[in-house]
Amino acid sequence: MLKALRRVTVKENKPVDSVAEFEQEYDEKRKRDKYVLRLYVTGMTEKSRMAIENIKTICEEHLSGRYNLEVIDIYRHPVLAKGDQIVATPTLIKKLPVPIRKFIGDMSETEKILMGLDLRMKKD
Amino acid sequence: MVRVNTKVKPEPEKFPAQLEKSMSGITGLDEITGGGLPKGRATLICGGPGSGKMLFGMEFLFRGATQFDEPGVFMAFEETAEELTGNVASLGFDLEKVAGEGKLLIDHVRVERNEIEETGEYDLEGLFIRLGYAIDSIGAKRVVLDTIESLFSGLSNTGVIRVELRRLFHWLKDKGMTTIITGEQGSGSLTREGLEEYVSDCVIFLDHRVSNQISTRRLRIVKYRGSTHGTNEFPFLIDEDGIRVLPITSLGLKHAVSDERISTGISRLDGMLGGSGYYRGSTILVSGTAGTGKTSIAGHFADASCRRGEKALFFAFEESPAQIVRNLRSIGIDLKPWLDKDLLFIHAERPTLYGLEAHLAVLHKVIQKSNPSIVIIDPISNLTAVGSQSEIKSMLIRIIDQLKSYNITTLCTSLTTHDRSLETTEVGISSLADTWLLLRDIESAGERNRGIYVLKSRGMAHSNQIREFLLTDHGIDLLDVYVGPAGVLTGSARLSSEEQERSNILLRQQEIERRKSRLERRRKKLETQIESLRAEFKAEEEELKSYMEQEDIRTVTINRQRKAMAEIRKADTD
């Protein structure tokens, strides 16, 4: 990240507002980030359905074209539950970009999810 | 608290006379619970930090997997599988091996609040699935949840957790899992989160206390629905074989008794005990002040036992094995051959080495290992260094009852201090003893001698005499009782008194001899007199006889003269 910043300042050869430039660069980079999300649900319960619906809406609105959402029914793949430390369901795991984050619930609190996914930007 | 969900149970639950139980395999626990933990139900193990909850659960699974062919799932909320495996390896549990055989599965459940964002409604179905999958994959019969309370710190919606926990425990019960749930002790309640509300079948409380710088672990069965159980606190020990609960078999005094008698090793002491010694399986207390020969009495007993070919176990709290052997050799008891032949075991330890319950456990362990027919504890009074009188008493009751149930004859020695009455023991176990030999020193005429008497001996006619005994180079020698005019005499007083008596006898005998010879002389004198009288008489008789003969001659002569005269005179005849 630092490397990129230095390259930018040298190229444009302007007085530097480094904070603003850093943020701009960071935002742009983040907008290019690929999101790998995994949602664990337990069959087609009401909570599962809600969670799938809610997360799909969020992804389409904010991550259109650069996300990969995998929905896993742990009734069918119980062995995966252990690896990803699933206790509560539904659970959403943000695998990429790092850091890994976990969300539990029916994904109805959009604001919390956006914050957690680092999609709530300063200017929004 | 638990509502029985009748809908899920396909078959009506049967209530046999006794609840079906699942052997825990934990040494001693199955004895105090009458067969183990409730089968197919949940047991709550609660206690403070470091009280051994996790280990309890782990041993339950390990024993189940290795001894009872019941695979188990350990759901760890606090430690990872690697940490757990390492922690219990020192206790002889090779979890990797058991896990490799498919009999144990450890699932580490990590719930970190700062890693989780709660966004709306959720349940804990994920946990159910994980547990269910783990159970199904190894065909588990046992489940341990350690410590499920961590969910409360990991998730904020306690309402959901409570509902889900209740559902989880029902679910486990329906699956027929014998479950252990561990819970951290809360202030004023058994567990911090009130888990006891959900688990109503069996609650066991573990406690770890330190008093007088010696720590003691204790276990108490708070409740056990549908089963009788001891409500006392049972000391337990965590050693290299895992948990060892020390059972009290004194729940009843039901041990069989033996009429067989065994020798004390001192024939004249056998004589004092109705002629044939102690009862087999009885408890003998030998008490006395310092240096009265308690260990020697014990040594004789051990020696006699080994001579019969029976194993003896000697617990020494004061002397090392080598010292015991040397000291007893000095009074002619050679224990060395018995040690060599593995007939005698000496287990020597300082009482302060560890706490009472640890001693008790070690006693148990050694007894079980060597399977002796007699046990000597020398001396029990030394245990006061590590416990109060009541604690020692309860420990001794346990050990004595245990030994009695095995029909092992036990001889305990106890040191009595001079500032107490002789007929009390330091630890107050006199009522437990069947035979009580009291050794005392008898002080008189500037010396100290050893005396022994049988204070009590249940079920036999025993001597009531105080006997003096000597420690000679051929063992303990009980002397004849010498009762002088001033009571029982001992030591040199006895010797001088005996000497006096001997000279008196001599004097009397001499007097008799003298009188005898005087009489003899007198008799001889009389006989001489009789003889002379008889001679005199005879002389007189002779004299008379000769006189009579002369008379006869004279008469004849006279007659002849008369006749001749007549012839001369020519007198006519008739």
The DSSP letter of residue B430 is G
For tokens 């659970």, the residue is A91
B126 touches chain A (CB under 8 A): yes
pLDDT for A13: 62
Nearest CA in chain A to B148: A87
If interface means Cβ-Cβ distance under 8 Å, which residues of chain A face chain B?
A: 40, 42, 47, 50-51, 54, 74-75, 78-79, 81-82, 85-92, 101-109, 112-113, 116
* A42 within a domain of the structure (yes/no): yes
Interface test with A, best of B73, B127, B129 (most A CBs within 10 A): B129
Distance CA B165, CA B182 (A): 13
Please report, in tens digits, the pLDDT of each residue of chain B (574 residues total): 444 444 443 444 444 456 788 888 888 888 888 888 888 888 999 988 888 888 889 999 999 999 988 999 999 988 888 888 888 888 888 888 888 888 898 989 888 888 888 888 888 888 889 999 999 999 989 999 988 888 888 888 888 888 888 999 999 999 999 999 998 888 878 888 878 878 778 899 998 887 666 677 888 888 888 777 767 788 788 877 788 887 655 445 556 677 888 888 888 888 888 888 888 888 898 888 888 888 888 999 999 999 889 999 998 888 888 998 998 889 888 888 888 988 888 888 887 777 777 777 778 778 888 889 999 988 888 777 777 777 778 778 878 887 888 888 999 888 877 665 666 665 567 777 888 888 888 777 677 888 888 888 888 888 887 888 888 888 888 877 666 666 667 777 777 878 888 889 999 999 999 999 999 999 999 999 999 999 999 999 999 999 999 999 999 999 999 999 888 888 776 5
At residue B520, the pLDDT reads 95
Helices (H) and strands (E) in chain B, counts: 14, 25
Residue of B237, B228, B274, B260 whose CA lies nearest to B91: B237
Nearest to A87 among B117, B124, B133 (CB): B124
Q: Which residues of B touch A87 (CB under 8 A)?
A: 109, 111, 124, 126-127, 130, 151, 154-155
Burial readout A42-66 (b: 16 or more C-beta within 10 A, e: otherwise): beeeebbebbbebbeebbeebbeee
Tell me the C-alpha distance between A87 and A91, whole Å.
Answer: 8
Question: Domain residue spans in chain B?
Answer: 21-245, 261-481
* Nearest of B49, B51, B103, B54 to residue B75 by alpha carbon: B54
Candidates A59, A64, A68, A65; CA nearest to A38 is A68
Interchain contact, A75 vs B117, CB within 8 Å: no
CB contact under 8 A, A103 and B118: yes
Domain count of the fold of chain A: 1
Distance of CA B277 to the CA centre of its chain: 16
pLDDT band at A22 (very low <50, low <70, confident <90, very high): confident
Q: Do A89 and B125 touch (CB under 8 A)?
A: yes
- B261-481: same fold as B21-245? yes
Minimal Cα distance from B107: which residue of A? A82
The pLDDT value given to residue B551: 93
- Is the Cβ pair B133, A107 closer than 8 Å? no
Residues of A in contact with B109 (CB under 8 A): 85, 87
Contact A101 B109 (CB under 8 A): no
Write out the DSSP string of B374-423: EEEEETGGGGGGTS-HHHHHHHHHHHHHHHHHTT-EEEEEEE--TTS-TT
Q: Does domain B21-245 have CATH number 3.40.1350.10?
A: no
Confirm whether A25 is domain-assigned. Answer: no
Tell me if B442 sits within 8 A of B449, measured CB to CB. yes
Across B304-401, where does the E strand assignment appear?
312-316, 344-348, 374-378
CATH number, domain of A108, equals 3.40.30.10
Give which of A39, A75, A80, A104 to mutate to test B binding, by max B Cβ within 10 Å: A104
Give the nearest chain A residue to B75 (CA atoms). A82
Q: Do A91 and B118 touch (CB under 8 A)?
A: no
The sign one gets for the Cα dihedral B475, B478, B480, B482 is positive
Which chain A residues are closer than 8 Å to B126 by Cβ? 40, 42, 74, 81, 86-89, 91
Examine residue A2 and state whether it is found in any structural domain, yes or no.
Answer: no
**Contact between B126 and A82 using a beta-carbon 8 Å cutoff:** no
Segments forming the whole domain that contains residue A107: 34-116
HSE toward the beta carbon, residue B232, CA cutoff 13 A? 17
Topology annotation, domain B261-481: Rossmann fold (3.40.50)
Tell me what pLDDT residue B212 has: 66
Query: Greater confidence, A4 or B117?
Result: B117
The answer as to whether A24 is a domain residue is no
Window 172-211 of B, Cβ < 8 Å to A: none
Mutate to test the interface with B, among A48, A80, A87, A92 (most CBs of B within 10 A): A87
